[in-house]
Amino acid sequence: MNLDFDKRRKLIIIFITIIVLIYIIRLFNLQVLDNDYKTWADSNAFLKKTLYPSRGVLYDRNGKLLVYNQPAYDVMVVMRETTAFDTLAFCKAVDITITYFRKRLAEIKNKFLNPGYSSYTPQTFISQLGNKEYGILQESIYKFPGFYIQNRTVRQYNYANAAHLLGYIAQADKQDITDDSYYVRGDHIGKTGIEKSYETYLRGEKGAEILLRDARGRIKGKFEDGMSDVAPVSGKDLTLSIDIDLQAYGEELMKNKLGSIIMIQPKSGEILCMVSSPTYDPSILVGRQFSDNFTELVKNPYTPLINRAMNGTYPPGSTFKPAQSLIFLQENIILPNTSYSCIGGFPIGGHPECHGHSSPLTLIPALGTSCNAYFCWGLKALLENKKYGSRDAAMDKWRDYMVAQGFGYPLGVDLPDEKRGLIPNSQFYGKIYKDRWNALTIISIAIGQGEILTSPLQICNLATTIANRGYFYPPHVVKEIKDVSLDSLYTQPRKTGIASPNYETVVEGMRLAVTGGTCRGANIPNIAVCGKTGTAENKGKDHSIFIAFAPKDDPQVAIAVLVENGGYGANNAVPIGRLMIQKAIKGEIPESDLELEQRIKNTVILRSVIQKN
């Protein structure tokens, strides 16, 4: 009997101990871990309002205001404080339907859709209320318990240009909130472009205002006369490197075409314009129409949301030949006077025919006439040269030089999601061909075809590097941040490891291409332009490409133009490049080129592309 009593006593003690532990854990959770009761208690006495800072504004390089802010208003709701009211009157005031009203309340209370939901804390019911609706609601807000108006700002644009570069702002999603505790549900964050990459500078710091409530929840003034309030700190203003007039002109030239224009100042790496076509007016992605307009852009078959200038990758075609020339010269595979024969093209493998020219020819006229055969012979000589010890070593040496010239990896532009392109190495081809390959197997890379992929930004950077005779600054679009030093990344030149005299030879070849070669259409009076055309093979009509810099001996601009399905480089890319160079250097288009300008503006390629598809 004593044994049974001892067992029962121990079981009772254990049972009581478990119950006590459960209560202790629950009390700890309620009083320490769970803020709901504290929030509820505070919300009875106080209303804590977030004060949102003014977002930093954006200027172009000439001080023209591009992006600024104007007041906007969010309708907030504290679910715990809502009581019965005239919902029809509320819906009429904010111009919504009863169905939407009920749907929105359900979404707010759904913890799956609204993580961290608490009925004690303010929730965004409607964002960015228009001025008209704000005025109506402000007069009657006292009739709708639990609802109040939160002041914010929204972006406004002085120009309908540079949408891809500037980017847009949208509500922070679950991942944004998880990644950065600064954001809560209903906050806005830069999603693309400058708005995203410089978000931490632009957003500023939030403030807070604490208001006292009476027993009925009515606001009675500021807590401690505002001593506990925290003022918001405005975001930093940014001066961009772009010239908005040049940007707008480029977008006009590219209307009804697919492709891009990039212009860089070689001496600094500053991007003067970055055109991606088709584009859109950035002001349509602001306010309550954001969702509808964004959906329309997503559905557009021409994908206007993609920044083709840095997110599109293409075979560079013959614009790649100057980069090949520099490697051949640096590695002593050829000399400037080394000649190769051309019988209308490279005789092995059935590669595209060359433009009509003399044969044999040396490097400078080979660049001027864009001789395919010359560069195929040059690559074959490099990959078969015994000084490297093996085919793979020669291939990797070639690849290293290409990477040093800015290909194969992101250049580090201060915009998000830059594509790296593709520069193959020996391992890449070893996997494809199971090590059974040679120079002739991959000879098409000699003329910028085959597996080679580059972005328009990268081929513009090649023109910049040649203009500087062997170095470049990483391209960037922010010129100045108010009261902040720019990242030294953009002030340190990157050298290619190729000697300057080799660049002088290539410069002469690119000058000949303009004065008497494949891009004679870029021969501008009183401006010594050096250029190179490219015709990139494509499943449909070839892409038209042109790179150039000018003037030859004191380069002010480097440019890359790519027109998808535009045919030969001379057809569309060269005339656009000619006009853009004149606009940038002279500030205007001479009367002699006004007819050319009108022809380019009237050229429609989008229609022919969609019909072909």
CA distance 564 to 204: 40
Q: Is the pLDDT of residue 550 over 60?
A: yes
Higher pLDDT, 119 or 399: 399
CA distance 258 to 565: 8
Q: Is the pLDDT of residue 241 over 60?
A: yes
Q: What pLDDT was estimated at residue 327? A: 98
CA distance 419 to 202: 25
Please give the angle made by the CA atoms of 283, 288 and 289, to the nearest 5 degrees.
Answer: 60
Q: Is the pLDDT of residue 38 over 70?
A: no
Across 485-503, average pLDDT: 89
Across 234-245, average pLDDT: 97
Question: What structural domains and CATH numbers belong to the chain?
Answer: 47-204+212-240 (3.90.1310.10), 244-294+303-612 (3.40.710.10)
Q: What is the DSSP letter of 126?
A: E
CB–CB of 561/261 below 8 Å? yes
Q: Is the pLDDT of residue 433 over 60?
A: yes
Across 47-56, average pLDDT: 86
Across 157-169, average pLDDT: 97
Ranges 185-194, 365-374, 575-584, most confident = 575-584
CA distance 154 to 129: 10
Range with the lowest mean pLDDT among 6-20, 135-149, 346-360?
346-360
Residue 613 — very low, low, confident or very high, per pLDDT cuts 50/70/90? Answer: very low
Q: What pLDDT was estimated at residue 30? A: 61
Q: Is the pLDDT of residue 221 over 70?
A: no
Q: Is the pLDDT of residue 275 over 80?
A: yes
- Give the pair of three-digit tokens for residue 499: 């000697």
Residue 134 — very low, low, confident or very high, per pLDDT cuts 50/70/90? Answer: confident
Q: What pLDDT was estimated at residue 584? A: 98
Q: What pLDDT was estimated at residue 121? A: 77
CA distance 456 to 189: 28
Q: Is the pLDDT of residue 555 over 90?
A: yes
Encode pLDDT of 300-347 as tens digits: 999 999 999 999 999 999 999 999 999 999 999 999 999 998 876 666
CA distance 469 to 286: 44
Q: What pLDDT was estimated at residue 490? A: 87
Across 235-264, average pLDDT: 97
C-alpha to C-alpha distances, 488 to 267, 287, 461, 476, 491, nearest whole angstrom: 15, 37, 19, 12, 5
Nearest to 477 by CA among 272, 307, 236, 305: 272
Mean pLDDT, the chain, integer: 89
Q: What pLDDT was estimated at residue 51? A: 87
Question: What is the sign, positive or negative, of the torsion defined by CA atoms of 217, 219, 221, 227?
Answer: positive
Say what percent of the chain tops pLDDT 70. Answer: 90
Residue 40 — very low, low, confident or very high, per pLDDT cuts 50/70/90? Answer: very low
Higher pLDDT, 59 or 184: 59
Q: What pLDDT was estimated at residue 106? A: 92
Higher pLDDT, 410 or 153: 410
Q: Is the pLDDT of residue 157 over 70?
A: yes
Q: What pLDDT was estimated at residue 611? A: 47
Say what percent of the chain tops pLDDT 90. Answer: 65
* Region label for 381, one of left (φ > 0), alpha (ψ between -120 and 50) or beta (otherwise): alpha
3-class DSSP state of 522: helix
Element of type H or E holding 127:
strand 123-129
Across 140-166, average pLDDT: 92
Residue 47 — very low, low, confident or very high, per pLDDT cuts 50/70/90? Answer: low
Higher pLDDT, 483 or 352: 483
Q: What pLDDT was estimated at residue 112? A: 81
Angle between helices 456-467 and 321-330 (to 10 degrees): 50
Residue 469 — very low, low, confident or very high, per pLDDT cuts 50/70/90? Answer: very high
Residue 553 — very low, low, confident or very high, per pLDDT cuts 50/70/90? Answer: very high
Across 542-564, average pLDDT: 96
Across 261-288, average pLDDT: 96
Q: Is the pLDDT of residue 612 over 80?
A: no
Range with the lowest mean pLDDT among 174-178, 243-247, 282-286, 464-468?
174-178
Q: Which residues pair with 169 in a beta bridge?
A: 190
Nearest to 341 by CA among 365, 316, 368, 317: 365
Neighbours of 387 (CB within 10 A): 11
Across 369-384, average pLDDT: 94
- Give the pair of three-digit tokens for residue 204: 């500023």
Question: Roughly how many angstroms between the first and final C-alpha of the chain, as a whole number?
Answer: 94
